[in-house]
Chains A and B, each alone.
Chain A
Amino acid sequence: DIVMTQSPLSLSVTPGEPASISCRSSQSLLRSDGHHFLEWYLQKPGQSPQLLIYLSSNRVSGVPDRFSGSGSGTDFTLKISRVEAEDVGVYYCMQALQTPLTFGGGTKVEIK
Chain B
Amino acid sequence: VRLVESGGGLVKPGGSLRLSCAASGFIFSDYHMSWFRQAPGKGLEWLSYITATSDIIKYADAVKGRFTISRDNAKNSVFLQMNSLRAEDTAVYYCARSLGDYRPVEPWGQGTLVTVSS
Contact = CB atoms under 8 A, between A and B. Distances in A.
Contacts of A39: 103-104
Contacts, number: 52
A7 to B, nearest CB: 14
B66 to A, nearest CB: 15
A49 B108 contact: yes
Interface residues of B, number: 21
Contacts of A60: 106
Tell me the interface secondary structure of chain B in the complex: loop
B49 A99 contact: yes
A100 B103 contact: no
Interface stretch (A12-20, A64-72, A101-109): A101-109
B110 interface: yes
A16 B77 CA distance: 43
Interface in B55-100: 58, 60-61, 94
Interface residues of A, number: 22
Given A37-B101, A99-B58, A100-B61, A51 B106 contact: yes
A76 interface: no
Contacts of B34: 101
B25 interface: no
Given A41-B44, A48-B94, A101-B46, A96 B101 contact: yes
Interface of A: 37, 39, 41, 43, 48-51, 54, 60, 92, 94, 96, 98-106
